[in-house]
């Protein structure tokens, strides 16, 4: 790699011009630091780290700067610090304070609005020093299997593989390339959430570098306020996580299922699912998807329910019976199968039969990056007939968005173990909600994202009269005007207290910081 490191210094010119273009951001946005009038001394920073510092003049800059969403490929960060340790992170933060350089943080690189890109047009983030912990990928299972320590850059696929092969498990999301760090910091919903709880519920300690450059360990007995905030308070606000430790469980056998109905049954499926899924046996999790788009659904939208059951395989039929009875039409597709925890998680990740080292979008990987737009709601109440009609109408309208590959809504059941935890016990406040709701749209790389953004945000706007403004911080949306209240509800005041304690000068200033 042609990059700056302790072992070889290559000095490149820093990008200094702000990039054009912006989208609305929340009204609570903090001003970005004013760049130093003098060019930052990148050689000085490189001499203090064991990892690498990649500048715009380096041959690998065009690759290293990329996040998981191609819509942000035009970002021009000032530099990317690829940290090899917590000490490297501390050096990067000290340099940013001293040089008055904005900072952007990156682990998995899945930030919905491109803040981890470090200067993407329209993101509201100026060209920044990106501090990346993607290289911190160590996964160490405790001797008795009861705990696992995970580097901040480990992806879900790697964690599931390391645990599953040893008969252990934690619950998380279904996207292979998502970083476990970001998922956990925002709460962490996934396909075993009702039987295991949120990913953050399994967190026992976290190592992070705070704005003052100190490496701290936060747990229930040490820096407890910081630990509380790290369980659902979102990433990029309080420090740079370098390591996380989780309690594991015995890996369950998982029965997965998939049901699809004719589109004419969509209203009945929504009505029945929402009264069934959040109150079902906690070992059952499901997601309801209504998807359309002229490119992937030329014959019209589809409606389906899929999920996981961690009880005896023979018991699944009884669990699904209330759903099937409530929908007059019979499914046009119905499948199920019982597999190991590891096989189930790799199947959800799109990596069945793929070696874990190729379950990535990196060069040589089996997965492909995809341009997308997204936003969210949190559903505390079941929809009435008008709300169900609005869902169906909005999905049908996807057929008229010419550049849309696929778009619509995913409604993921909460309840179960999630609801057994008090809303103020962790920073994630939505314990009593029925579901998380995600509005998404994918489109061809290089296409104008505006029509797809308008579609997903219009979908959300149509549903706020039914569900209110509640939203999930891991599905960040830069257009939300009261984002902090939507994400954190009654926990916001305490989060702000923690922020003032650990980042009093506002070093971490992404557009929706609290």
Q: Which residue pairs, CB below 8 angstroms and at least 24 apart, start in 380-383?
A: 380/430, 380/432, 380/433, 380/434, 380/467, 380/468, 380/470, 381/434, 381/466, 381/467, 382/274, 382/275, 382/434, 383/270, 383/271, 383/274, 383/466, 383/467
How would you classify the pairing of strands 215-219 and 249-250?
unpaired
How confident is the model at residue 35, as a pLDDT? 46
Is residue 274 classed as helix, strand or coil in its secondary structure? Answer: helix
As to burial, measured by CB atoms within 10 angstroms (0-12 exposed, 13-18 middle, 19+ buried), residue 6 is middle
| pLDDT tens digits along 130-144 | 999 999 999 999 998
**Total Cβ atoms within 10 A of residue 2:** 14
Using 50, 70 and 90 to split pLDDT, how confident is the model at 323? very high
Q: In the predicted model, is pLDDT for residue 14 greater than 80?
A: no
Tokens of 44: 């000085």
Q: Given a cut of 70, is residue 25 above it in pLDDT?
A: no
Residue-range domains of the chain with CATH: 4-132 (3.30.43.10), 139-251+491-502 (3.30.465.10), 254-340+369-487 (3.40.462.20)
Q: How far is CA 266 from CA 256, 307, 322, 392, 410, in A?
A: 22, 18, 16, 7, 13
Per-residue model confidence (pLDDT) at position 5: 36
What is the structure's pLDDT at 387?
A: 98
Q: What's the pLDDT tens digit per position in 262-278?
A: 999 999 999 999 999 99
- Alpha-carbon distance values, 457 to 27, 60, 193, 273 (Å): 17, 35, 26, 24
Question: Buried b / exposed e across 9-26, counting CB within 10 Å, b at 16+?
Answer: ebebebbeeebeeebebb
Confidence of residue 415 (pLDDT cuts 50, 70, 90): very high
Q: With a cut of 50, say whether residue 509 has pLDDT above it.
A: yes
Q: Across residues 216-231, what is the average pLDDT? A: 98
pLDDT digits (tens, 9 = 90+) for 57-74: 999 999 999 999 999 999
Q: Kindly report, residue by residue over 374-385, the tens digit of the pLDDT.
A: 999 999 999 999
Three-state secondary structure readout of 393-459:
HHHHHHHHCCCCCEEEEEEEECCHHHHHCCCCCCCCCCCCCCEEEEEEEEECCCCCCHHHHHHHHHH
| CB 193 within 8 Å of CB 285 | yes
**Which of 50, 77, 55, 60 lies closest to 11 in space, CA to CA?**
55
pLDDT, residue 413, reads 98
pLDDT(201) > 70:
yes
What's the confidence (pLDDT) of residue 23? 30
Which helix (H) or strand (E) covers residue 255, if one does? strand 254-261
How long a stretch of residues is the chain? 514
What pLDDT score does 1 carry?
39
Helix (H, G, I), strand (E, B) or coil at 175: coil
Q: What percent of the chain has pLDDT over 70?
A: 93
pLDDT grade for 234, boundaries at 50, 70 and 90: very high
pLDDT at 32 over 70: no
Tell me the C-alpha distance between 119 and 73, whole Å: 10
User: Residue 342: its pLDDT value, please?
Assistant: 97
**Which of 120, 126, 76, 81 has its CA nearest to residue 101?**
126
Return the structure tokens found at 328: 């007059």
pLDDT over threshold 90, residue 237: yes
- What are the pLDDT digits (tens) for 81-137? 999 999 999 999 999 999 999 999 999 999 999 999 999 999 999 999 999 999 999
Q: What is the pLDDT of residue 13?
A: 28
Q: What is the rounded radius of gyration, in angstroms, for the C-alpha atoms of the chain?
A: 22
| Tokens standing for residue 373 | 């737009």
% of the chain at pLDDT higher than 90: 92
What pLDDT does 7 receive?
29
Query: What is the residue-averaged pLDDT of the chain?
Result: 93
Residue 423 confidence (pLDDT) above 80: yes
| 52 phi and psi angles, rounded to 5 deg | -120, 150
Whether residue 480 has pLDDT greater than 60: yes
Q: At 240, is the pLDDT very low, low, confident or very high (cuts 50, 70, 90)?
A: very high
Q: What's the pLDDT band for 3 if we cut at 50, 70, 90?
A: very low
Q: What local confidence, expressed as pLDDT, does residue 73 receive?
A: 98
Helix (H) or strand (E) holding 320: helix 316-326
HSE at residue 427, side-chain half, CA atoms within 13 A, is: 39
Distance in angstroms (rounded) separating the CA atoms of residues 485 and 350? 34
pLDDT at position 286 = 98
- The DSSP element (H or E) to which 494 belongs, if any, is helix 492-502
More confident site: 399 or 3 = 399
* Per-residue pLDDT reduced to its tens digit, 134-185: 999 999 999 989 999 999 999 999 999 999 999 999 999 999 999 999 999 9
How many CB atoms are closer than 10 A to CB 213? 16
Q: In the sheet that 284-292 helps form, which strands lie side by side, from edge to edge? A: 333-339, 254-261, 302-309, 284-292, 406-413, 435-443, 371-379
| Section 478-495 average pLDDT | 97
State the average pLDDT over residues 338-352.
95
CA distance linking residue 206 with residue 231, whole number of Å: 10
């Amino acid at each position: 790699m042609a990059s700056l490191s302790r072992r070889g210094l290559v000095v490149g010119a820093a990008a200094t011009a702000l990039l054009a273009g912006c989208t609305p951001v929340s009204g609570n946005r903090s001003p970005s630091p004013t760049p130093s009038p003098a060019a930052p001394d990148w050689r000085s920073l490189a001499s203090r780290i064991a990892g690498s510092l990649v500048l715009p003049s380096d041959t690998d800059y065009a690759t290293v700067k990329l996040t998981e969403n191609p819509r942000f490929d035009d970002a021009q960060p000032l530099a990317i610090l690829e940290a090899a340790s917590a000490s490297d992170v501390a050096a990067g933060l000290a340099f940013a304070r001293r040089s008055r350089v904005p900072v952007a943080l990156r682990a998995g690189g899945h930030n919905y609005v491109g803040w981890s890109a470090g200067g993407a047009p329209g993101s509201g983030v100026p060209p920044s020093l990106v501090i990346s912990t993607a290289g911190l990928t160590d996964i160490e299972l405790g001797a008795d299997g009861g705990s696992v320590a995970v580097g901040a850059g480990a992806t879900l696929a790697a964690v599931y593989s390391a645990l599953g092969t040893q008969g252990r498990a934690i619950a998380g999301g279904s996207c292979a390339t998502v970083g476990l760090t970001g998922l956990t910091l925002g709460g962490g919903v996934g396909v075993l959430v009702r039987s295991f709880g949120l990913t953050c519920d399994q967190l026992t300690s976290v190592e992070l570098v705070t704005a003052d450059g100190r490496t701290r360990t936060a747990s229930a007995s040490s820096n407890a306020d910081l630990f509380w905030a790290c369980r659902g308070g979102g990433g990029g606000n309080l420090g740079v996580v370098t390591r996380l430790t989780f309690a594991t469980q015995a890996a369950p056998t998982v029965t997965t299922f998939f049901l699809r109905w004719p589109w004419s049954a969509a209203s009945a499926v929504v009505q029945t699912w929402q009264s069934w899924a959040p109150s079902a046996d906690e070992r059952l999790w499901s997601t309801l998807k209504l998807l359309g788009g002229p490119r992937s659904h030329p014959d019209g939208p589809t409606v389906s329910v899929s999920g996981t059951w961690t009880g005896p395989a023979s018991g699944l039929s009884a669990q699904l019976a209330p759903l099937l009875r409530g929908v007059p039409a019979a499914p046009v597709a119905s499948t199920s199968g019982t597999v190991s925890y590891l096989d189930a998680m790799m199947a959800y990740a799109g990596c069945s039969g793929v070696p874990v080292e190729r379950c990535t979008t990196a060069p040589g990987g089996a997965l492909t990056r995809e341009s997308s737009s997204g936003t969210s709601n949190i559903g505390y109440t079941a929809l009435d007939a008008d709300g169900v009609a609005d869902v169906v109408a909005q999905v049908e309208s996807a057929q008229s968005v010419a550049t849309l590959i696929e778009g619509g809504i995913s409604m993921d059941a909460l309840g179960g173990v999630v609801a057994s935890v008090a809303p103020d016990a962790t920073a994630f406040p939505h314990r009593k909600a029925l579901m998380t709701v995600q509005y998404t749209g994918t489109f061809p790389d290089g296409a104008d994202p505006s029509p797809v953004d308008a579609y997903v945000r219009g979908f959300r706007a149509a549903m706020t009269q039914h569900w209110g403004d509640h939203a999930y911080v891991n599905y960040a949306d830069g257009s939300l005007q009261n984002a902090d209240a939507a994400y954190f509800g009654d926990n916001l005041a305490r989060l702000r207290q923690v922020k003032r304690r650990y980042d009093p000068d506002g070093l971490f200033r992404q557009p929706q910081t609290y």
